[in-house]
């Protein structure tokens, strides 16, 4: 295959499970990622910076000459080998760079010389980005959202992931790599804003197969998910959409938060780095508590910090009371902070509540909605 493909064909490529070879520099990918793309750059960050400086100071021809010089000899062969190995592994792979210009054209030509013929995205990342933004706008105009709501710890994320198919829902917390609360920060850095937006649009295309009038479930989220901002019009649609309310007891929600914020984050360490993992986890909880001190008030903030310190001591002494000591601050956090914050916001919004019930009851209703015909 030597033909090139327009970025407007992205929905077809997604549905046909094409893989993408991104030859941009790593810093570009970090700032503007495309879901699932494999990054094998033609110029690394340092090389790209040198070529860019040369382009500004001397001009295009000199920059091209420098690029050819930087990627030559054994380094050129190494990069061609890596590209061809990836391209041979899957025929439906397409190449792209930022604007669909020299970098992807050179990659394609060098691979063709090595006997591997693959297409490229004509307009590059910029064209892909425009197609993705249009997909989100089309869904906002035509699509239907149903919100899974409820107070913190009601298991809303677990409910979403229990729906019949991943194509039934948008997992905003997964895309943002954040649990969507003051204490929900991941150990890993969040993606860039642009990467989040691209992932959201990509999921809409994949889930709805170009029928942007379809139904998607989504968890009730604030406009900010960590430092990620939901797109304005998408968030407005979320806020205006009907809601299924998961109503669970304080005891049940405490156990859910214990699992999400204590047990699971501490389960990933090895024996060699467990203490380091715990120290990082504990610091994040301390910082998160201090960050909400204005809403909690000084006395309650100090009380929760003392509870956290008791939990830390129980861990260090390997006491069996460690989980119980965490239940204490979690319960207070739910009663003093999360519940008033969410319920006050819900009352102001006054959304249409389609159904209110336990986790299992709401899941059953949502599953039935997934399986129902759209015209019912």
287 half-sphere exposure, CB direction, 13 A CA radius: 8
Question: Residue 20 pairs with which residues in a beta bridge?
Answer: 94
DSSP secondary structure, 195-263, as one string: HHHHHHHHHHHHHHTT-TTSEEEEE---SEETTEE--HHHHHHHHHS-EEEE---HHHHHHHHHIIIII
Q: Which residues, other chains included, contact 184 with Cβ-Cβ below 8 Å and sequence gap of 6+?
A: 173, 178, 226, 261
Q: Identify the three-state secondary structure at position 269.
A: coil
* Dihedral sign for Cα atoms in the order 304, 310, 313, 319: negative
Which of 240, 257, 239 lies closest to 248 in space, CA to CA? 257
Active site residue 97: yes
Q: Which residue has the tokens 């001009």?
A: 59
Which of 134, 133, 87 lies closest to 96 in space, CA to CA? 87
Q: How many residues does the chain have?
A: 376
| Catalytic residue (choose from 54, 84, 97, 370) | 97
b/e map 319-332, b = 16+ CB within 10 Å? eeebeebbbbbbbb
Annotated catalytic sites, by residue?
97
């Amino acid at each position: 295959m030597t033909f090139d493909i327009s970025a407007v064909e992205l929905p077809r490529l997604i549905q046909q499970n094409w893989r993408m070879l991104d030859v941009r520099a790593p810093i570009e990918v970090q700032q503007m990622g495309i879901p699932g793309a494999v990054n094998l750059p033609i110029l690394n960050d340092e090389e790209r910076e040198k070529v860019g400086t040369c382009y500004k100071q001397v001009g295009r021809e000199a920059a091209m000459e420098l690029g050819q010089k930087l990627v030559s000899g054994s380094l050129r062969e190494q990069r061609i080998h890596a590209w061809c190995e990836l391209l041979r592994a899957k025929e439906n792979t397409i190449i792209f760079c930022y604007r669909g210009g020299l970098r992807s054209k050179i990659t394609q030509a060098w691979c063709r010389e090595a006997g591997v013929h693959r297409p490229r995205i004509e307009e590059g990342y910029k064209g892909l980005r425009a197609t993705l933004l249009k997909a989100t706008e089309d869904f906002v105009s035509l699509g239907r959202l149903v919100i899974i709501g409820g107070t913190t710890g009601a298991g809303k994320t677990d409910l979403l992931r229990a729906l019949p198919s991943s194509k039934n829902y948008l997992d905003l917390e997964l895309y943002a790599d954040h649990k969507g609360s003051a204490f929900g920060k991941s150990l890993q850095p969040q993606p860039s804003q642009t990467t989040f937006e691209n992932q959201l649009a990509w999921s809409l295309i994949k889930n709805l197969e170009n029928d942007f009038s379809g139904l998607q479930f989504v968890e009730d989220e604030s406009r900010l998910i960590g430092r990620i901002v939901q797109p304005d019009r998408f968030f407005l649609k979320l806020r205006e959409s009907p809601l299924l309310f998961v109503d669970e007891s304080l005891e049940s929600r405490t156990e859910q938060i214990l699992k999400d914020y204590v047990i699971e984050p501490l389960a990933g360490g090895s024996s060699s780095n467990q203490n380091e993992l715990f120290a990082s986890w504990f610091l994040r909880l301390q910082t998160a508590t201090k960050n909400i001190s204005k809403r909690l008030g000084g006395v309650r903030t100090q009380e929760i910090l003392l509870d956290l310190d008791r939990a830390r001591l129980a861990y260090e002494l390997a006491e069996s009371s460690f989980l119980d000591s965490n239940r204490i601050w979690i319960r207070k956090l739910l009663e003093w902070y999360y519940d008033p914050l969410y319920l006050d916001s819900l009352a102001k919004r006054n959304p249409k509540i389609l159904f209110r019930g336990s986790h299992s009851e709401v899941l059953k209703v949502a599953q039935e909605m997934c399986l129902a015909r759209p015209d019912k």
